[in-house]
Amino acid sequence: MMSIAKKPNLSRALPLILLAVMLFTAHRSLAQDGYTRIEIGGEFGTIRQTPVGGGGKNFPGFGGRFDWNFNRRLAFETQVDFFPEHSASLLLNQGGQTLQAVFGVRAKVVQTRRLSVFGLVRPGLLHFSDVLSNGTIPGGTHPIVSPTYFELNLGGGIEYYVSPRWVLRADISGNPYRVTNEHYVTTSGGSAFAIGKIEDTTRLSFGVAYRPGTLRESESERPVSGNWEVGPLFSTIVSVREGSANGVRTDFGFGGYVSRRLYGVFYLDADVLYFPANRATAGAHDGGEILQGLFGVKGGIRRNHVGFFGKVRPGFNSYSQAVTSVTGPSDSAQTFTHGRSTNIVLDLGGIVEFYPAEHGTLRLEAGDTHTFYGSRTVDVNGTSTVYPGNGLKHSIQFIAGYGWRF
């Protein structure tokens, strides 16, 4: 099996940079003179992948985007980019030419007459032309497939307004994507199961856009009342679960959140979620039900009926049924003992809030929940065996809820 080299991910620091910019500049923001409903642009970009021979390389590409501006801050944005250079063909990971298409929200948190700082939360698709598959063909070689993976594009950037109609833009984003589990037929005619994964790559983009149509006057803005928010949440998390029958799975959970204004554009923010699905198999680090706690900071702006935030929240994932001991001579006759395993996580992403009522909040979150597994010791037939954590694991998480402000 070919392995992929570790790729530097500059976008992990992006939320911290954006939050710092918000803190020092938000109080000086002045509205643009105007905006249009439609914005059309083109861009040059790079995507971080592994070239032939290993290592890491930024592959160049080009594309276009279309924005529908609901108001001067919030837009629905689509972007399609093509990267024509061939990257290395790796097993269930990447290979060949790359096509990316994302669709989601662009939100301007800091805005002056000439500059704005914005955040991006855009689910989408990532397509590779030449990826190695586990399915074997005569001769025992890996066949080439052209898969399309679900991804979550998270990031932000800066816009400069040359005029009311012309915009220069630069952005950076992280792109966790879901590589599905693969069932395949071996050369002997048997069936086999390959565990998928959550991979990640970094994107840079530089472009120009034009705003056709009628220039609309920027509406006046007013702050949203309330320093506290509390409410219930529902969540889905896409992650790699340990155990021979698990692999990449989607778990559903529920819980609640609390948020408290700390200073200026910063809020203390916490989610507690419970995922009740009890998986049939487990590993040394993970198994059974998940209790998740995220406690940190969101930073952004609340105006009129909408709020936009970046989030940086450390926390934990606590699994109820991780393997602690194994007894027995073989896989078919082994007996397992289970116990709780708690691991550190870091939640990075974005939050969009809508305020349909005077004290009500509709809250939508999306993020890359990074899980850090530590080494675990398992008793295997009386011998202590160390199972390494193997570093960082990505997860794609969506959360929705309704809260009350006071």
* Distant-in-sequence, close-in-space partners of 111: CB < 8 Å, separation ≥ 6: 29, 30, 31, 32, 72, 73, 117
- Give, for 25, the enclosing helix (H) or strand (E): helix 14-25
Structure tokens of 74? Answer: 């919030």
**What CATH number belongs to 222-406?**
2.40.160.20
Structural class in CATH, domain 1-220: mainly beta
Distance CA 318, CA 290 (A): 6
Distance CA 169, CA 206 (A): 6
Structure tokens of 390? Answer: 């193997």
CA-closest candidate to residue 373, choices 317, 331, 321, 309: 317
E strands of 88-176, at which residues? 96-111, 115-128, 131-132, 144-145, 148-161, 166-174
pTM of the model: 0.88
Q: Do domains 1-220 and 222-406 have the same CATH topology?
A: yes
E strands of 147-246, at which residues? 148-161, 166-174, 177-179, 182-185, 191-194, 197-199, 202-210, 216-217, 228-241
Q: Where are the domains of the chain?
A: 1-220, 222-406
Given a contact cutoff of 8 angstroms between Cβ atoms, the answer to whether 378 and 216 are in contact is: no
* Distant-in-sequence, close-in-space partners of 383: CB < 8 Å, separation ≥ 6: none
3-state secondary structure at position 66 = strand
* Distant-in-sequence, close-in-space partners of 135: CB < 8 Å, separation ≥ 6: 142, 143, 182, 184, 185
pLDDT in tens, the chain (406 residues): 333 344 444 444 554 455 454 444 444 444 556 789 999 999 999 999 999 888 899 999 999 999 999 998 999 999 999 999 999 999 889 999 999 999 999 999 888 889 999 999 999 999 999 999 887 666 667 889 999 999 999 999 999 999 999 999 999 999 999 998 888 877 777 788 888 899 999 999 999 999 999 998 887 888 888 899 999 999 999 999 887 778 899 999 999 999 999 988 899 999 999 999 877 788 899 999 999 999 999 999 998 899 999 999 999 999 999 999 999 876 667 888 999 999 999 999 999 999 998 899 999 999 999 999 989 999 998 899 999 987 789 999 999 999 999 9
pLDDT of residue 201: 95
